[in-house]
Each structure stands twice: as structure tokens, then as C-alpha cells.
């Protein structure tokens, strides 16, 4: 059975989005140690899972020459990884190794988890994360807490009524003030 992991950058006040497509707040300062950490995650991340909004942001940057020049290791990892996109409107994707899924994310992820293959990693995609947490399909949650206060926005747990038990498995602080927190989700 495959594992389902979630990776999300969040503000100090708990938001993954301020309600706009701009996520530059999550990349405020240059931090070589953090950059190496992100590159390492990208090169070994497994199969990527996106909602349509996150997918549109990702596909507009990662397969471009600019991404390859600015972040070669991350771009190589993300572009080579298998990708699943949940959308009610998309029917196909020009991005290599991408499969568009038009069905219910909970049912589709349940099926994908039952298959053999690499870990499934949800990047961004807060509404999908909430559905998968609610359905008790998430095995681990990695948060990158960015030292910024957004003051408003969306949390990745909007609508979750279950109370998942989380155990801190790893943590790491970076010179930029960002902190990585990895939680195992207990059944």
C-alpha cells in the first residue's frame, strides 16, 4: 500500500493561501540550507498530487527554461515525477507524466493508495487536503512554517471535523526563520 503525504507551506498564523494566486510570501529570504532541503525533497518526493488551482500555478513555472535555470534540481525532480491533477474542468495536460482525474479525489486516492508505486505527495491544494484528512487517508503532514503573518486566507483544514492524532516525527529550523515540521498521522 502506498503512503500519502502532504507538503504545505503555511504562514505563522496558519494560512496556506492569502486568497490570491501569489505565494511569494512563502519564499521571502534566500536561505541556501533551506534551498538544499527543498531540492532534496523534490528529487525524492514520489508521485505528485495537485488540485486544479495549484496545478495551474505549478505548470506555468516548473516546465519552463526559467525554472530549469533558477532551480535546476527542483525542476528536474518535479518535471520527472508522475503527477495526478484533480479537476472538474481539465481533460488533459501538456506537462509530461501528468494524468488528469475528473472523479472524486477521495475515491481516486483510495484506489491509488491500494496500488504499488511511489509515495503520493499532495503539494498545496488545500481543499483536496481537507477532503483527504477528513477521509483519514493522509499518512503524514509536512508543514513548512514561514515567519510571516498573512492576517487572512485559507487553512488546509477548512471543513475538517475529524480530529486526527498527529505525532511530531521530525523538525528542523532554518536560518531564514522557516521551520519544517513532519507529523505522522495516527489511525
Residue 60 CB partners (closer than 8 Å, separation 6+):
none
User: If DSSP codes are grouped into helix, strand and coil, which group holds residue 169?
Assistant: strand
Q: What is the pLDDT of residue 28?
A: 66
Compute the half-sphere exposure of residue 72: CA atoms within 13 Å on the CB side of its CA.
Answer: 1
Torsion, Cα of 99, 82, 30, 171 (10° steps): 110
Q: What is the pLDDT of residue 43?
A: 64
Pairing of strands 140-146, 179-186: antiparallel
Q: Using CA atoms, how far apart are residues 55 and 98, in angstroms rounded to an integer? A: 10
CATH number for the domain whose boundaries are 4-186: 3.40.430.10
Q: What angle, 0 to 180 degrees and rounded to 10, lies between the N-to-C axes of helices 72-80 and 32-43?
A: 20
Looking at residue 21, what is its pLDDT?
74
pLDDT digits (tens, 9 = 90+) for 96-118: 999 999 999 999 999 999 999 99
Cell matching residue 59: 505548470
Task: Give residue-wise pLDDT tens across range 30-86.
Answer: 788 887 887 777 666 689 999 998 899 899 999 999 999 988 888 998 999 999 999
Is there a contact between 144 and 11 (Cβ–Cβ < 8 Å)? no
Half-sphere exposure of residue 100, counting CA atoms within 13 Å on the CB side? Answer: 15
Mean pLDDT for 13-25 is 84
pLDDT at 116: 92
CA distance 47 to 45: 7
Q: What's residue 63's pLDDT? A: 96
CB atoms within 10 A of CB 125: 26
Name the residue ranges covered by the structural domains of the chain.
4-186
In order, the DSSP letters of 11-49 are ETTS-SB-SSS--GGGG-S--HHHHHHHHHHHHT--EEE
Predicted pLDDT at 71:
85
All three cell numbers of 21, joined, read: 494566486
Determine the Cα–Cα distance for residues 64 and 59; give it in Å rounded to an integer.
8
Task: Tell me: pLDDT of 159 over 80.
Answer: yes
Q: Is the pLDDT of residue 187 over 80?
A: no
What is the per-residue pLDDT across 128-153, written as a single tens digit (0 to 9) for each? Answer: 999 999 999 999 999 999 999 999 99
Give the confidence band of 18 by pLDDT, cuts at 50, 70, 90. confident
Amino acid at each position: 500500500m502506498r503512503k500519502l503525504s502532504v507538503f504545505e507551506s503555511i504562514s505563522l498564523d496558519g494560512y496556506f493561501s492569502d486568497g490570491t494566486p501569489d505565494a511569494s510570501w512563502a519564499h521571502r529570504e534566500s536561505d541556501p540550507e533551506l534551498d538544499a532541503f527543498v531540492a532534496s525533497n523534490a528529487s525524492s518526493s514520489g508521485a505528485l498530487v495537485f488540485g486544479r488551482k495549484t496545478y495551474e500555478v505549478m505548470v506555468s513555472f516548473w516546465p519552463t527554461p526559467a525554472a530549469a535555470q533558477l532551480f535546476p534540481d527542483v525542476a528536474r525532480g518535479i518535471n520527472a515525477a508522475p503527477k495526478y491533477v484533480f479537476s472538474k474542468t481539465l481533460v488533459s495536460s501538456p506537462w509530461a507524466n501528468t494524468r488528469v482525474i475528473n472523479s472524486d479525489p477521495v475515491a481516486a486516492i483510495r484506489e491509488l493508495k491500494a496500488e504499488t508505486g511511489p509515495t503520493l505527495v499532495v503539494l498545496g491544494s488545500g481543499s483536496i487536503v481537507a477532503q483527504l484528512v477528513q477521509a483519514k487517508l493522509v499518512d503524514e503532514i509536512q508543514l513548512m512554517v514561514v515567519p510571516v503573518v498573512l492576517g487572512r486566507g485559507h487553512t488546509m483544514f477548512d471543513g475538517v471535523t475529524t480530529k486526527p492524532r498527529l505525532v511530531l516525527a521530525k523538525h528542523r529550523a532554518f536560518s531564514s526563520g522557516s521551520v519544517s515540521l513532519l507529523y505522522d498521522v495516527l489511525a
